[in-house]
Amino acid sequence: MAVAVDARIEWFWCALIACSMCATARARGVVPGVVRRGVAVAARRGKDGDWARDGDGGRPGGRGRGRERRVVDVMMSVVMTRVPHRWFQHFYVVGVCANAWTLSRAAKRAGERDEDAYVVYALVLFQVHLCRRLYESVFVSVYSSCARMHVAAYVLGLAYYACASQSWASALGDGVGAVTPVVPHLASAALAVCGTVLFIIGNVNQHRCHVILANLRRGKRSRDEPSVRSYAIPRGGWFERFSCAHYTAEIVLYVGLLLIVAPSHVYITTRGDDVDAFRNIRAPILLVCAVVANLAVAARAHHEWYLANFPSTYPSHRTALFPSFTFAS
């Protein structure tokens, strides 16, 4: 029997995708500036931004007057509330616990189909990823005492990790259909192998990126008292190509997980015209799309921050997130 996913989780991913699109530069003139700026601030994940950079005025209140101005000011005061950057650790505590619970349920409810085993396997890999990130956030990452992230990003992160594992588990089959003879078992196994390779590549390179970022702030003193408080240009590994190489690696590993759970259901033969053959992978697909959309917004903000703060020394060949792709305003 399938592990049902609440429709609200799918709507959550859709809302996250929509908000990320609202934060892009192309949304100017279509989406109210206060909405774009609020989402962009959340996506910056602790980096201080310049309100004037978006071209909608240098103050959170914008050009509003009277009651509208007061409403906007209240909204922005909430968005601009910041919490310690070290609270990132909470995301992975929630993620590890939520995924362990989902994994135990999925293992009990998985059917005899090989496809269900792939979903459980993906959840195991996701647990490995979450444990690694928890380890990094506690023992690798170096946090400045003045580093903050916006409360919107914090709440969004908690909600994300509470919903992610449920989305992967929703790919479990429900016995409505079966894999067609056209696509043999070996095809799904081969795609699962490819997904595993991508997952490993993404995790290994993301860990390297986080070590590089930590070393930028780790001086001769202890990790809790970094001697260098200013930001520097990251060097080495995928950072030689991308400003946000750790985000690129995260997308790679999520695509790998999607390859593991998706092949089992892309080729389903249904028993009725009213049955959606892709119903079981809607949530995983939306999850990956939401990850890409949100990281794209954050990468654009970080890339522009690097260009603004290192105008003469920042490598001109680096792109924000993807090869030969920049987020030009």
Closest CA to 286 of 173, 126, 120, 166: 166
* pTM of the model as a whole: 0.81
CA–CA separation, 39 and 155 (whole Å): 12
Q: Does the residue 177 lie in any domain?
A: yes
Short-list 297, 294, 295, 285, CA closest to 255: 285
CA angle 29, 20, 165 (to 5 degrees): 165
Question: How many structural domains are present in the chain?
Answer: 1
State pLDDT tens for residues 179-232.
Answer: 444 455 777 788 899 999 999 999 999 999 999 999 987 754 444 444 444 678
Task: Establish if 196 belongs to a structural domain.
Answer: yes
Closest CA to 302 of 221, 247, 227: 247
The verdict on residue 282 lying in a domain is yes
Asked whether residue 146 is domain-assigned, the answer is yes
Please give the residue range of the domain that contains residue 16: 7-309
What pLDDT sits at residue 177? 47
pLDDT digits (tens, 9 = 90+) for 218-276: 754 444 444 444 678 999 999 999 999 999 999 999 999 999 988 655 554 444 433 45
Is residue 324 in a domain? no
For residue 199, give Cα distances in angstroms to 5, 61, 62, 195, 270: 24, 43, 43, 6, 30
What pLDDT was estimated at residue 83? 85
State percent of the chain over pLDDT 70.
66
How far does CA 51 lie from the centroid of its chain?
24
In a domain, 329, yes or no: no
Return the ∠ at Cα 107 (arms to 101 and 109), rounded to 5°. 100
Residue 166, in any domain of the structure: yes
Length in residues, the chain: 329
